[in-house]
Structure 1
Amino acid sequence: MATCHSYFQIETFNYEAMVNNTIAFHFVPGFKGENFTKRLRCMEESPIIMDLIKEVMLEDDLIKLGMVLHVYVDTFSHQGFNGMVSKVNAIKNCEAYNIKSLGLFDKTLKILKQLSQNNYEIYFDKIMPAYGHAQALDYPDLPYLEWAYEYDYSDEFNGLYKKIVIDNKDRYQRAFRGVEKLLKNYLLYHPHYRDSAIQFDSIEPLMKSLIYEGHDALRIKNWQNLLIEQRLLDRKDKDLLTYEDDRWLKDAFANYDRKVFENRVVENVRLADNFECSKWYGFYTAAKWYKKRFLEICNKYQLFLPI
């Protein structure tokens, strides 16, 4: 039950994977535009995600809530792109103004760009698919970043390009305040999740950490320190302060092995004794529910995505 995949694995370049994973969980359509691919463009607080939010508010299921909130925030950061391989996502002259850290791939692109702008655009277009925000690299996912790109705004993709400058700080702060409002509403429906021992009146300190300018390691450390300073966590809460992407898998499968479980298909697994109560199984059932409801709500808005 996949919810995401790599832009660079050829087996994921198929319609079913794009609809069920990339579009559904990361680029919820906004229904605006003159053609199908433009109607698939992600849009901030689109009708689909807001309908899903209304449903999840009534369910006593924190994993479902977390899943839908992730998708909700992506409607802010991924807006303007869609989850298909599409001309909508074919951008040019993408540049960041205040990036704090570059990966090896980004550094290689930067060197190529410095050597020759013309060659850069030619080679970049050949190696980077117009899939999701791949041609924008990870720029949409850096909360502090200011960046820009040019996109074809014509209905028929006639090569009429317009430059757009994006301030991620603004987008992320709007998303953060939206999440705050949704969580407060969720606690009204499910007050048993409220921790009366925690006195927390303002999200402003969290907002500052959200848009903190620094490379990934510094940002993580800044968040950890803030959560302790605000007494939301304690230094003893190592499991909560340190992220492990396979923690739920370790608890759910008796024969878990990271190298084996990184494969797309894993055979001969042994379930842990408490498998049905495990958080991984909760995630699996939540993803199954989400995919079903996503397609049904798309149909409600006359956006038909056959699979």
Structure 2
Amino acid sequence: MQIDFHHGVTYAVARLAGFEHQAASTIAYCAQYVDDAVNGGLVRFDNGALFERISSAHKMLDYRNFRELANHHVWIPFHFLPGNGGLADGKEPEGKYVDKLICRPNSHVAQQMVRECILRQDAPYGLHRLGITMHVYADTWAHQGFAGIRDRVNEATRLVDEHGLPDGKLRERMTGYFMSEAMPLGHGAVLSQPDKPYLRWGYTNGRGEQIWRDNPQDFLEAAERMCQVMQRYRLRNPDAIVPGLPVCDRALIATLLETLIYPDQRVRHRRWLAAIAEGKFSFGSAMVSYIPKGKLSWKFAALGTEKERDRGDEVFPYREQFLASDWKYFHDALQAHRLFILHDLLPRYGICAA
């Protein structure tokens, strides 16, 4: 998914789940910042203090950069959550080890991920972790059928459009990419098709299976489930029976997913923020923005830098407010999330991923 969903839709769904503006803004910022946190390593301060951070993304739209993207610490815990064939822990899917790694929508793995997030919400970075969790959870719908490793299951041929006809436009776009090595990683073989909410399309995967994807329906289901998760979060009960999206708001989300057919994710994002500002949702009008780098960004408030990428040898001015900054809390939550996924949750399913 792209910024229109991870930020715009996540904000709207958080409000519809009962969060007030500031909390919903934090959740949505974190959900999108997962795709923009490209710097890792030590942060050095002028008073001798150190802070270690990890990255949760590479420049994922450049599918040619496969050497950098082939990083289990990024792809598996943050973008292609293994689904264990849709089975519960203790059960083995048929096939090879890679069948455990293929992402599945709302899998048992994903459900246990959100349960842990709800139960650990008292941490100072609880809301920030919820935003990260919502990113990963939503991506189980968009990235279903693909694995966060290099494997032939990720290959795709015979791409078709919503009418079942050969998708010549996508083939033309792919000719500009060096794909022979990158295709087996993630959904590089189909570029950003899984991430665009308005598309209906199909392909034949590396195993010869014909796959049909209905993105509007998948994205709407993701929004519904996210609302339920956030309602349970507010109740502090991962097993609570909750209503999900209000009927009218659900219909509006469905309409926007279907009708905002702009290929540029930034244009779609602006349209979502405009709908929110115009008060089209039942929670009323709200002004929402997202600034990942530069002035007014969380990173600028924490470190005082406007640079998008760090060289690694910078020394930043230390400020007392750093320890309680949103940027630090986001990175604290990233580490907590990754540690739980890789070292606790996935091993329950017999998955060893770095």
- TM-score bin (small chain): 0.7 to 0.9
Match runs of 1:5-20 below 5 Å = 5-6=58-59, 7-9=63-65, 11-14=67-70, 17=71, 19-20=72-73
Report if the CA contact (8 A) 1:96-1:139 is conserved: no
Structure-2 residue corresponding to 1:31: 84
Change (3 A) 1:96 1:269: farther
User: Shift of residue 188 of structure 1?
Assistant: 1.7
Measure how far apart 1:207 and its partner are: 3.1
Gaps of 5+ in 1: 99-105, 113-119, 154-160, 191-199
Question: Are residues 276 and 107 of structure 1, via their aligned partners in 2, closer, same or farther at CA, if it must alter by over 3 Å?
Answer: farther
Are 2:340 and 1:293 equivalent residues in the alignment? yes
Letter in 2 for 1:130: P
- How does 1:229-248 map onto structure 2 within 5 Å? 229-230=279-280, 232=283, 234=285, 237=287, 240=288, 242-246=289-293, 247-248=297-298
Verify the 8 A CA contact 1:144 1:213 in the aligned structure 2. Answer: yes
Distance in 2, Cα, partners of 1:31 & 1:269: 43
2:124 pairs with 1:74? no
Contact 1:212 1:219 survives alignment (8 Å): no
Change (3 A) 1:230 1:126: same
d(CA) in 2 for partners of 1:111, 1:277: 44
TM-score (norm 1): 0.77
Query: Is 1:138–2:199 an aligned residue pair?
Result: no
Change (3 A) 1:278 1:176: same
8 A contact 1:251–1:272 mirrored in 2: no
For 1:53 and 1:127, the matched residues in 2 are separated by 34
Please name the residue that 2:201 is paired with.
147
Aligned counterparts of 1:263 and 1:171: Cα–Cα separation in 2: 36
Task: Note if contact 2:66-2:181 (Cα within 8 Å) is conserved in structure 1.
Answer: no
SS in 1 for 2:323: helix
- Equivalent residue number for residue 219 of structure 1: 268
Deviation for aligned residue 1:266 = 5.1
Would you say 1:252 and 2:295 are equivalent positions? no
Shift of 1:212: 2.6
SS at match of 1:210: helix
More relative contact order in 1 or in 2 (CA 8 Å, sep 6+)? 2
Partners of 2:201 and 2:150 in 1: CA distance: 22
Mapping for residues 200-219 of structure 1, pairs under 5 Å: 202-204=248-250, 205-215=252-262, 216=264, 217-219=266-268
1:265 to 293, 302, 312: 312
- Structure 2 unaligned residues grouped into runs of 5+: 1-53, 86-93, 238-245
Change over 3 Å in CA distance of 1:211–1:277 after alignment to 2 = farther
How far off its partner does 1:124 sit?
6.2
2:68 is matched by which residue type in structure 1? Answer: T
SS of the residue aligned with 2:212?
strand
Alpha-carbon shift at residue 42 of structure 1 (Å): 0.4
Q: From the CA coordinates, give the structure whose radius of gyration is larger.
A: 1
Q: What per-residue deviation string (whole Å, max 9, x for no partner) do you get for residues 247-300 of structure 1?
A: 11111102x031xx4146353233444111111101110011011100111111
Higher share in helix? 1
Equivalent position of 1:303 in the other structure? 351
Instruction: Indicate how the Cα distance of structure 1 residues 299 and 111 shifts in structure 2: closer, same or farther if over 3 A, else same.
Output: closer
Whether 1:110 aligns to 2:172 is yes
Q: What is the aligned counterpart of 1:176 among 218, 223, 230? A: 223
CA 96–277 in structure 1, closer or farther in 2 if over 3 Å, else same:
farther
Q: Given the superposition, is the C-alpha separation of residues 230 and 162 from structure 1 closer, same or farther in structure 2, using an over 3 Å criterion?
A: same
**Overall identity of the aligned pairs, in %:** 24
State the number of aligned residues.
265
